[in-house]
């Protein structure tokens, strides 16, 4: 390792940004990434043809709308959206989540549009 081994403290990382719908990469595992994001409001309906996508709620409350029903995630709950399944995250209150997915996964998947953003490296 090129740097001293220090853990990633999720609360500390979350305290360092406030933008909504921006994905902050906090760790890498092989060709996968661990990212943090803050959400409020509704995202866009989209799917990822090439990959499953893991959501873990840290604080707040996240509803993942699916075409066949909603999944509601409280803190300490995770859900994997299977590849190809259309979904649309929505959060009534500000919600912090951890995402796990392959590096390069585009947040809006096949939908594109103005909310499309690349993940940012983050300390």
Q: Which residues of this chain interact with its own copies, rule CB under 8 A?
A: 1, 4-11, 26-30, 32, 34, 51-54, 58, 64, 66, 68-69, 71-74, 76-80, 82-83, 85, 100-102
- Asked if residue 41 lies in contact with residue 91, where contact means CB atoms within 8 angstroms, the answer is yes
* 16 Cβ neighbours under 8 A, 6+ residues apart: 122, 123
Q: In which region does residue 12 sit, left (phi positive, over 0), alpha (psi from -120 to 50) or beta (all else)?
A: alpha
CB of 117 to its own copies, least distance (A): 21
CB of 56 to its own copies, least distance (A): 8
CB of 119 to its own copies, least distance (A): 16
> CB-wise, 57 or 114, nearer to its own copies?
57
> CB-wise, 44 or 85, nearer to its own copies?
85
d(CA 73, CA 61) in angstroms, rounded, equals: 6
> CB-wise, 6 or 114, nearer to its own copies?
6
What are phi and psi for residue 100, nearest 5 degrees? Answer: -135, 125
């Amino acid at each position: 390792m090129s740097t001293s081994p220090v853990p990633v403290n999720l609360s500390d990382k979350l305290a360092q940004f406030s933008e909504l719908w921006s994905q902050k990469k906090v760790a890498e595992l092989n060709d996968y990434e661990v990212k943090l994001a803050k959400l409020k409001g509704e995202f866009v309906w989209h799917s990822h043809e090439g990959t499953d996508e893991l959501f873990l709620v840290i604080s707040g409350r996240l509803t993942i709308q699916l075409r066949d029903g909603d999944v509601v995630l409280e803190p300490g709950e995770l859900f994997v959206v299977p590849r190809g399944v259309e979904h649309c995250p929505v959060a009534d209150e500000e919600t912090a989540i951890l995402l796990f997915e392959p590096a390069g996964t585009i947040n809006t998947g096949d939908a594109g549009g103005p909310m499309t953003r690349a993940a940012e490296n983050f300390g």
